[in-house]
Chain A
Amino acid sequence: MSEQIHELIRKDYEAGFVTAIESETIPPGLSEDVVRVISSKKGEPEWLLDWRLKAFRAWRGMPEPGWAHVNFPPVDFEAVSYYSAPKSLQDGPKSLEDVDPELLKTYEKLGIPLHERARLAGVAVDAVFDSVSVVTTFKGKLAEAGVVFCPISEAVHTHPELVRKYLGSVVPQRDNFYAALNSAVFSDGSFVYIPKGVRCPMELSTYFRINEAKTGQFERTLIIADEGSHVSYLEGCTAPMRDENQLHAAVVELVALKGARIKYSTVQNWYPGDKDGKGGIYNFVTKRGVCHDDAHISWTQVETGSAITWKYPSVVLRGDNSVGEFYSVALTNNCQQADTGTKMIHLGRNTRSTIVSKGISAGRSSNAYRGLVRINPGAEGARNHTQCDSLLIGDASAAHTFPYIECRNSSAVVEHEATTSKVSEDQLFLCRQRGLDAEKAVSMIVNGFCREVFKELPMEFAVEAGKLLEVSLEGSVG
């Protein structure tokens, strides 16, 4: 499009710094021994080591998925280091006072409050740095409500029965190539348990940071909302700028028992690579939730980072009257590629799902929505509404939509709406004629386009997401 649009999509990645900290990183390569080392570093019980080994053996026999609309050279899984931890944390989790000041500075720089009296009071944070959890805030206040919010490596010891029961129950080890890899080598991540009937008194938040070079991050998050409980969980991600690609293969499992409600929000801002497509994170993530009777799971994601995003947060509507929602903004710029969407699997009666996907493609990027709505024979009275909008900026970007609908019950109502539009020269001219510069104009137009999704985000995140979009779009106009 116009000259301004090309100029605008060019800004520096603000979270791209490296923290100078001594780390213990195991040598690259993956074998049963590596799996054993990871397990023993965490002092895991035998059953978990066995579980990992089983996943590793499965993974070795699985092919990488090739169906996504993304292109990248094959990943050399032997060149990745599967565990890295700051040395100062080696003696296990400590209180905030014992955390290396360099680490605290990192989070400060990123605007993540680790001090409990921080500005964003009311948000409890678990910070994961490379492979380990640095600190979890507000543990005391949460404990009063009976809420468990801790690193999953800790939950293995403190709540083994819950971890053992639910780990892999939503995303089985063999679900897909990356899920199997994660099951074998997962390092850390968050564990949440909300007891029966409890409304979690604050937002829970995990902040993931990749620091060390040539390492992968394989976090594992497990959230269990017991009957009638409510929780809102936020997740944010950043990484330094590096020329090589780094792998991030996470698994997130949500369990919403009868009448429970889980709201899961993500602002993903992994390093996207430079404007020529050098470097950046490969973000290959499996996220899935299961709803029992009357339960409700809502995924909201704002995906602006990563060189490649492969991610389909899904909901299995197992129980009757359960509800699944997916609200997504995916922005790609320069050479980024995204293949993202959701799966809504309707099993129970009178289950409902809503999908709102907003894809924005700028630069030479490619942005694909891929979604599956499946209505099983028993899903009497199921309903789905899908709205899938794409916005193109410039004339070198691409938007694709791959919606799949499998309906096996004639009482179901499934709707799909889709639009593709461009930031028009008319809109830009109107804004500029009213005194707004081109950059502000594009960010305003894009924010307007995403409004339906942003209003689903918790307040602090909505503001952050708007700003992030603005930064990610810089240089997109010109």
Chain B
Amino acid sequence: MDHGHMLSIRNLGARIGEKQILKGIDLEIKPGEVHAIMGPNGSGKSTLGYVLSGREGYEVTGGEVSFRGKDLLAMQTEERAREGLFLAFQYPVEIPGVSNMEFLKAAVDASRAHRGLEAFDAVRFMKLARETCTRVNLAQDFLKRGVNEGFSGGEKKRNEILQMMLLEPSLAVLDETDSGLDIDALQVVAAGVNSMRSPDRSFIVVTHYQRLLDFIVPDVVHVLAGGRIVRSGGRELALELEEKGYAWIEREVV
């Protein structure tokens, strides 16, 4: 197994029902790297995040994924999370009546138990959660409210970042975290992500627009079209896409 890799995807195929969405993805991510995945609507960007995190209904049709040297596809959804894979949702769902605090503590305790650590005591966790709220510009009373219940779009996205900060994943997949955010909220989210960057943590930033990449500067940019990665390059690839649009790539692929 290749321990030098955070994530190694080989020829990954996946379908939803009868529809083949991913048609052979290859991707290597080293610890500390930030990879941006761009592409037109319907190219399979969100699907990739769901397949990696093991969402039901997304059937793997072939290929291999190794995550920190382990066979990711053999793990249950919750196991993948506890192993350090985090998905920030494009549309975070509400869980009425379950307080954010209760939810966060249960999630963090589950990951800690997996690593053989004791659950946080309530007081210590409360303090940590409050400090983290401040880092993403959320008032502390968010901790008492129901998970995403009545949150604005921007608040939901910041809440995702809050969860990421507390869970301290090895690999975070941000699924169009920039969608629906105004520039201020975008900066808060980006600052949160940047503060988490470290040599042993990697990110996959899925986005439709290059704007986010002005704030979260990627090491590698990939273009996903028709269920395959059709081009990879540096930061400049994103700018080129911005200028020429996706039609250019799609034409080339055909």
Which residues of A does B touch, CB under 8 Å? Answer: 2-3, 424-427, 429-438, 440, 444-445, 447-452
Residue contact A434 to B97, C-beta cutoff 8 Å: no
With contacts A429-B55, A435-B167, A440-B106 known, is A445 near B95, CB below 8 A?
yes
With contacts A433-B53, A433-B87, A435-B110 known, is A444 near B95, CB below 8 A?
yes
B93 nearest CB neighbor, chain A only: A426
Q: List 6 A-B contacts (CB under 8 A).
A: A427-B94, A430-B147, A432-B78, A434-B167, A435-B82, A444-B95
B97 nearest CB neighbor, chain A only: A448
Residue contact A452 to B97, C-beta cutoff 8 Å: yes
Looking at the complex, which one of B81, B94, B163, B167 makes contact with A432 (CB distance below 8 Å)?
B81
Q: Of residues B77, B81, B87, which shows the largest number of chain A Cβ atoms within 10 Å of its Cβ?
A: B77
Residue contact B97 to A451, C-beta cutoff 8 Å: yes
Residue contact B56 to A2, C-beta cutoff 8 Å: yes
Tell me how far the C-beta of B87 lies from the nearest C-beta in chain A, rounded to whole angstroms.
5
Complex Cα distance, B110 from A3, in Å, reads 21
Q: Contact flags (1/0) for B54-70 with A, using CB distance below 8 Å?
A: 11110000000000000
> In the complex, how many residues of chain B place their beta carbon closer than 8 angstroms to a beta carbon of chain A?
31
Tell me how far the C-beta of A469 lies from the nearest C-beta in chain B, rounded to whole angstroms.
13
Interface residues of B in 90-106 (CB under 8 A from A): 92-98, 102-103, 106
In the complex, what residues of A have CB within 8 A of residue B86's CB? 433
Q: Is residue B40 contacting chain A, with contact meaning CB distance below 8 A?
A: no
Complex Cα distance, B94 from A231, in Å, reads 38
B81 nearest CB neighbor, chain A only: A435
In the complex, what residues of B have CB within 8 A of residue A429's CB? 55-56, 77
Q: Is residue B5 contacting chain A, with contact meaning CB distance below 8 A?
A: no
Residue contact B97 to A427, C-beta cutoff 8 Å: no
Residue contact B56 to A435, C-beta cutoff 8 Å: no
Which residues of B does A touch, CB under 8 Å? Answer: 53-57, 76-78, 81-82, 86-87, 89, 92-98, 102-103, 106-107, 110-111, 114, 146-147, 163, 167
With contacts A429-B56, A433-B87, A434-B103 known, is A447 near B97, CB below 8 A?
yes
With contacts A434-B167, A435-B78, A435-B81 known, is A448 near B114, CB below 8 A?
no
**Additional 6 contacts, C-beta under 8 A, given A425-B57, A448-B96:** A432-B54, A432-B78, A435-B82, A437-B110, A444-B98, A444-B102
In the complex, what residues of A have CB within 8 A of residue B87's CB? 433
Tell me how far the C-beta of A461 lies from the nearest C-beta in chain B, rounded to whole angstroms.
18
Complex Cα distance, B98 from A431, in Å, reads 11
Tell me how far the C-beta of A365 lies from the nearest C-beta in chain B, rounded to whole angstroms.
21
Residue contact B56 to A425, C-beta cutoff 8 Å: yes
In the complex, what residues of B have CB within 8 A of residue A436's CB? 78, 106-107, 110
Complex Cα distance, B86 from A432, in Å, reads 11
Complex Cα distance, B146 from A427, in Å, reads 13
In the complex, what residues of B have CB within 8 A of residue A445's CB? 95, 98
A449 nearest CB neighbor, chain B only: B97
In the complex, what residues of B have CB within 8 A of residue A432's CB? 54, 76-78, 81
Tell me how far the C-beta of A26 lies from the nearest C-beta in chain B, rounded to whole angstroms.
48
Q: Of residues B78, B106, B111, which shows the largest number of chain A Cβ atoms within 10 Å of its Cβ?
A: B78
With contacts A444-B98, A444-B106, A450-B97 known, is A433 near B81, CB below 8 A?
yes
B86 nearest CB neighbor, chain A only: A433
In the complex, what residues of A have CB within 8 A of residue B93's CB? 424, 426-427, 430
With contacts A445-B98, A448-B97 known, is A430 near B92, CB below 8 A?
yes
B166 nearest CB neighbor, chain A only: A434
Tell me how far the C-beta of A72 lies from the nearest C-beta in chain B, rounded to whole angstroms.
33
Residue contact B107 to A435, C-beta cutoff 8 Å: yes
Complex Cα distance, B143 from A374, in Å, reads 41
Complex Cα distance, B94 from A72, in Å, reads 38
Residue contact A448 to B98, C-beta cutoff 8 Å: yes
In the complex, what residues of B have CB within 8 A of residue A447's CB? 97-98
A3 nearest CB neighbor, chain B only: B56
Residue contact B106 to A448, C-beta cutoff 8 Å: no
Looking at the complex, which one of A434, A448, A451 makes contact with B81 (CB distance below 8 Å)?
A434
A425 nearest CB neighbor, chain B only: B56
Residue contact B89 to A430, C-beta cutoff 8 Å: yes
Complex Cα distance, B81 from A437, in Å, reads 10
In the complex, what residues of A have CB within 8 A of residue B97's CB? 447-452
Complex Cα distance, B93 from A463, in Å, reads 26
